Amino acid sequence: MNAAWDGDDSPVVGVVDPETDAIDAIEIDTALESVVADVDGTITSGTLETVLAAEPSVLVTGGEATLSAVARAGVDTPVVPVGPLTGIESVDRRRLPAAIEAALDGRAVRRKRPVLGVVLESADGDEWDVPAIRERALFDVTLVTDEPARISEYSLRDRGSDVATFRADGVVAATPAGSHGYASAVDAPQLSPAVNAVAVAPIGPFVTQTRQWVLPTAALTFAVEREESDASLVVDGRSVGTVTIGSQVSVSRADSLTMLAVPDDRLESA
110-141 pLDDT, tens digit each? 999 999 999 999 765 454 456 788 999 999 99
**What range does the domain containing 102 cover?**
12-107
Do 144 and 91 share a structural domain?
no
pLDDT at residue 24 in the model: 58
CA distance 179 to 161: 24
Do 190 and 79 share a structural domain?
no
148-177 pLDDT, tens digit each? 666 789 999 999 999 999 999 999 999 999
pLDDT at residue 262 in the model: 84
pLDDT at residue 263 in the model: 79
Q: Of 107, 136, 152, which residue constitutes the final position of a domain?
A: 107
Do 119 and 103 share a structural domain?
no
Do 177 and 150 share a structural domain?
yes
| 268 in any annotated domain | no
Residues 6+ apart with CB under 8 A from 111: 2, 89, 193, 258, 259, 260, 261
CA distance 198 to 179: 8
Closest CA to 81 of 58, 55, 62, 109: 62
| 265 in any annotated domain | no
CA distance 68 to 236: 7
How does pLDDT run along the chain (270 residues), one tens digit per residue? 345 566 667 899 999 985 555 555 678 889 999 999 999 999 999 999 999 999 999 999 998 999 999 999 999 999 999 988 888 999 988 899 999 999 998 889 999 999 999 999 976 545 445 678 899 999 999 999 877 666 789 999 999 999 999 999 999 999 999 999 889 989 899 999 888 999 999 998 888 777 899 999 989 999 998 866 778 999 999 999 999 888 899 999 999 999 998 877 766 644
pLDDT at residue 142 in the model: 96
The dihedrals phi and psi of 119, each to the nearest 5 degrees, come to: -130, 125
Residues 6+ apart with CB under 8 A from 208: none
Closest CA to 186 of 165, 166, 172: 172
Cα 58 to chain center, whole Å? 18
CA distance 17 to 21: 7
Whether 147 and 204 have beta carbons less than 8 Å apart is answered as no
Query: What CATH number is attached to the domain comprising 221?
Result: 2.60.200.30
Residues 6+ apart with CB under 8 A from 198: 116, 173, 174, 175, 179, 191, 214, 215, 217, 220, 251
199-214 pLDDT, tens digit each? 999 998 888 777 899 9
Q: What predicted TM-score, i.e. pTM, was given to this entire model? A: 0.89
pLDDT at residue 18 in the model: 58
CA distance 135 to 240: 8
pLDDT at residue 129 in the model: 54
Do 129 and 46 share a structural domain?
no
Query: What CATH number is attached to the domain comprising 71?
Result: 3.40.50.10330
* Tally of domains in the chain: 2
